[in-house]
Copies of this chain bind each other. A is one copy, B any other.
């Protein structure tokens, strides 16, 4: 599709623009060592590349900048994953070397390290509840009419909620209910908890406990909210402000509002998009993103999973002019390490 020379020049332009953030002219490309042609020749090729849709001109007599199509081609065919620095490798590995590591903490920590290494904003979507099962349920009275309910999943995730106790229920009755729930519901996938609750438990509870209706309602309030509730960790949000493309307050505002709105964010990071190089790494460039607020951003995501079951996602958000080589490489490393960790953890 493209000649070797065109690919060379396109690579040079994208690389240049990524590091300078300014339209790149034929002269500056020619001056670089790696393209041995005169500015005039390069100009001709640039004109062709523009006609093909790989480059854009902000205005006549400015240099060229890569278009979406240009970035996409660059990511799919041109980008060369150069080696990570020793420090980067070290920091990534050391993260997984720590002994005491809860799944969520690892994800969170990974995201934060990524943000520091790249100077972009990282978004981590915590492990979902898909294949997690109930490990333990507990109800601890606090005052006469309130109690704190605790749910622990087999992944070590702890969810808690303060609830009101219907009046007229004794402590022993509460204990009975909790015992019943634990024996009957332990091992049940969280998403099936509610249906199971009605199917199996309702009858038995009526036998043992008065106020059965209230109790079921109580348990329901505890379980509700868990399904849609997934933790989102942000890190390095201020990094965005260093990028010249975000010197405009309005643009920041729209992006920030997106970042603050968890449900929308989950949708953005979770929806499928263009494939990048390597396994499980997705690269979404500019308008490929579903949300308008980040239509001039690129989002690179890696999913982590156990036994082929997708658990969550880690993403890096930056301007379309992103250091793809470095970021893709980092994400691949992270993805691998996470896979190993999860496998070991889930055993």
| Closest chain B CB from A152 CB (angstroms) | 6
- From the candidates B150, B156, B252, name the one contacting A142 in the complex (CB within 8 A): B156
Copies in the complex: 2
- One digit per residue, 1 when the CB lies within 8 angstroms of any chain B CB and 0 when it does not, for chain A 18-54 equals 0000000000000000000000000000000000000
What residues of chain A have their CB less than 8 Å away from a CB belonging to chain B?
99-103, 105, 135-136, 138, 140, 142-144, 146, 148, 150, 152, 154-156, 158, 160-164, 221, 237-238, 241-242, 246-249, 252-253, 256-257, 260, 345, 347
- From the candidates B100, B103, B154, name the one contacting A163 in the complex (CB within 8 A): B100
- Given contacts A136-B140, A142-B154, A148-B156, 5 further A-B pairs with CB under 8 A are A99-B164, A102-B148, A241-B249, A241-B252, A252-B252
In the bound complex, what is the Cα–Cα distance between A252 and B251 (angstroms)? 13
- From the candidates B154, B161, B238, B345, name the one contacting A257 in the complex (CB within 8 A): B238
- The SS class assigned to the A binding surface is mixed
In the bound complex, what is the Cα–Cα distance between A252 and B248 (angstroms)? 11
Q: Which residues of B lie under 8 Å from residue A347 when comparing CB positions? A: 143-144
In the bound complex, what is the Cα–Cα distance between A171 and B249 (angstroms)? 57
- From the candidates B158, B164, B253, name the one contacting A241 in the complex (CB within 8 A): B253
